């Protein structure tokens, strides 16, 4: 058996083993993500996985609804917002208060300026892990 044949067989066995260990429910994989923004007075979803919709509830405030609900509300989410100008005015993705909701069906996120006033962004990236 040649070295190339042995390497091919090993790679195949490794692939089969990994395939049985990592699937869509693995906690290290994102359960949902979305790249969206508020452009021209409307929500624009550029790309997503397991996100049915994003709605703007107020200036700088959004709700991402999952296509398939999470098992419960004990998930982790992180988001990043792009500045809407080139003058260096930062935008941050935050949860404003306990009235912002996080359920198995959706998560509310807010986008604010560095002075913490709500502000829309042309690009917000949200990732959800469970």
Domain ranges of the chain: 28-129
What is the rounded average pLDDT of the residues 17-39?
83
pLDDT tens per residue, range 9-22: 888 888 887 777 66
pLDDT tens per residue, range 65-76: 999 999 999 999
Lowest-confidence region among 7-11, 39-43, 113-117: 113-117
To which residue do tokens 């609900």 refer? Answer: 69
Full-model pTM: 0.78
- Examine the pLDDT at 45 and tell me if it is beyond 90: yes
Query: Which value, in Å, is the radius of gyration of the alpha carbons in the chain?
Result: 20
């Amino acid at each position: 058996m040649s070295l190339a044949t042995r390497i091919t067989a090993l790679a195949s066995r490794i692939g089969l083993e990994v395939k049985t260990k990592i699937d869509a429910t693995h906690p290290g994989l994102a359960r949902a993500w979305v790249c969206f923004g508020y452009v021209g007075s409307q929500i624009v979803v550029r790309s997503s996985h397991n996100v049915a919709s994003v709605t703007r509830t107020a200036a700088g405030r959004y709700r991402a609804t999952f296509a398939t609900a999470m098992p419960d509300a004990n998930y982790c989410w992180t988001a990043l917002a792009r500045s809407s100008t080139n003058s260096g005015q930062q935008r941050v993705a935050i949860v404003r208060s306990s009235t912002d909701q996080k359920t198995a069906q959706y998560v509310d996120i807010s986008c604010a300026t560095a002075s913490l006033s709500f502000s829309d962004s042309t690009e917000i990236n949200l990732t959800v892990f469970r």
